[in-house]
Amino acid sequence: MNILFTSVGRRTYLVNYFKEALNGEGKIFVANSDVNSPAFLAADECVVSPLIYDDNYISFLLEYCDKKKLMQLYLYSTLIYQFCRKIRNYSKIMVLM
């Protein structure tokens, strides 16, 4: 199972926890708008995303999930909840907050 975490910033502990829980049965992907995000160093794969206010943010996440065949998307930002209505009906991935 491959999982994408958004807005991870300094949450390396979270990335490491999930990598351990997967026990080699998947990869942890992270997305953040800052190329210097510490969580990038802990993840299996990372991508610099647009800012959450960018009109292309949601489409970027969905296209990235399709491209990488990601099954779960974890959203970590208090500001991102307003976008959830646009994502929740996307049946290819499970969205968790």
Phi first, then psi: give them for residue 15, nearest 5 degrees: -60, -50
DSSP H or E stretch at residue 20: helix 12-22
Please list, in sequence order, all residues whose beta carbon lies within 8 angstroms of the beta carbon of residue 54, skipping any fewer than 6 positions away.
Answer: 60
Helix/strand/coil for 56? coil
Q: What is the pLDDT at residue 11? A: 82
- pLDDT tens digits, 58-87: 889 888 988 998 877 777 665 566 566 666
Per-residue pLDDT band for 94 (boundaries 50, 70, 90) equals low
The stretch 5-19 carries a mean pLDDT of 85
- pLDDT tens digits, 41-57: 999 999 999 998 888 88
Return d(Cα 40, Cα 69) in angstroms, integer.
19
Contact 65, 42 (CB under 8 A): no
pLDDT at residue 3 is higher than 90: no
Q: Per-domain residue ranges for the chain?
A: 3-96
Identify the CATH assignment for 3-96 out of 3.90.950.10, 3.90.1150.10, 3.40.50.20, 3.30.70.60: 3.40.50.20
